[in-house]
Structure 1
């Protein structure tokens, strides 16, 4: 009898609370309440910044190449890169505009200078965030957003990327739009980009 009561309560809870969420988290965290003027989430002991107050420096960190003192018992030290000094983690030479559908990317510049940037989603105003990175700088690209890296130095650049998924996926925007197989009808793209169809055909020929 007790087992039946327990199963009844469990079934009721299953109907009351969702057991799965079938969507990815948004790159910029906001609450579900549209009536709240300033919207916050509190996760893992940290408040998310109001999206209206976000700046490019929230995704940037400098100085990681500098050694820290190791005068301790174990003779080592750690330079932490976390939400405390790189808020953009809350919540990926030239790399053309692309996106990783299932991962946030953290980029560390080991040598050289890179112009990097990403564009927020439609709901966040398609805002562009850009920064010139130098040796020892770190930048984070939020999950799913279109981003790029471009060498602006006078020598080859070396950078290391880490992604938050074992299968992050990658979609290179130009290749996908203009290099699809078979090609997308030029009239469709001409309307979308507000260009002459002949320009679209020329772009498709390049890819």
Structure 2
């Protein structure tokens, strides 16, 4: 995308979501360049990892270039770019998005991802464990019927106990890691773990993990 950057812009923020929020192992490259071609952001990130940059006076204004390059063309990403005005980020102006009670992130592919200012209330009793479908549902706001970028029932610092059946397991010798695959809505979700753990786990084993 080719955003127009005026002298009022103080900083930028980019991030990307896999269409499936529990695909934690996927990576994408976020890049932002000035009109002169100076690369000010160039970082490989995972799903829902943010990268920001504060504009300096020497960066100039005009038409900049924001790019999102995925590491696997078979995966579907939603990519977001944001400009901030003024001295702080608490009240950002979002480009080309109408006023609404939901905050919309501008997506480079025409889709939007929303943050609900009045989300569902957390459940009074959390499930003792979550399988892949329950974990995925934590990123869905039932009241508004939209996907969100936070866990409904958990806060920063909480432990999540994950338990599910391994649908497929594969050692990747070139990367020296092992991929565990879980089936969610007819799609494989791949999580990678360091080293070869195929002697510890096999297909159809039930695995229990603590996510911090």
State the TM-score, normalized to the length of structure 2: 0.24
Which of the two has greater strand per residue? 2
Which of the two has greater helix per residue? 1
- Higher relative contact order (Cα pairs below 8 Å, separated by 6+ residues): 1
Larger of the two Rg values belongs to structure: 1
